[in-house]
Amino acid sequence: MEDLLPTWRSWYPSLFDAASDLGLIRARVCAPSSLMLSNRHAAVQSEAMQMFKEKWAVEDEPEEPQLPIRLQRHPTPRKPFKKKPKPSY
């Protein structure tokens, strides 16, 4: 910022305002769900992983085959837990 506009402090209240006005940073319109920190972090992490793979020519690992899920219609009831009697000495 100092290189582009050495006297920016006299015109702008903050570095953010100066950078925004000069077009160095800009807002991105996004869906409200993407404002959640966990979603934003996942997107940033995914983008970083993709850039790493491109830079170092890493290929994706093959996906493991999906095993079929077996569902029981009526699960067997659990037996009640019985406490073991304390030994008498």
Q: How many domains does one find in the chain? A: 1
Q: In this predicted model, which residue has the larger pLDDT, 6 or 58?
A: 6
pTM of the model: 0.30
Task: Tell me the CA distances in angstroms from 28 to 20, 62, 72, one per residue in order.
Answer: 12, 34, 48
pLDDT in the model for residue 56: 85
3-state secondary structure 4-69: CCCCHHHHCCCHHHHHHHCCCCCCCCCCHHHHCHHHHHHHHHHHHHHHHHHHHCCCCCCCCCCCCC
Residue 17's domain comprises: 8-54
pLDDT in the model for residue 72: 64
Domain membership of residue 31 (yes or no) is yes
Confidence of residue 75 (pLDDT cuts 50, 70, 90): low
Whether 4 contacts 22, CB under 8 Å: yes
Q: For residue 34, what are the contacts with CB-CB under 8 A and spacing of at least 6?
A: 40, 43
Angle, CA of 81, 82 and 84, to the nearest 5°: 135
pLDDT in the model for residue 29: 78
Domain membership of residue 70 (yes or no) is no
Domain membership of residue 32 (yes or no) is yes
Domain membership of residue 36 (yes or no) is yes
Domain membership of residue 12 (yes or no) is yes
Domain membership of residue 18 (yes or no) is yes
Domain membership of residue 19 (yes or no) is yes
Domain membership of residue 50 (yes or no) is yes
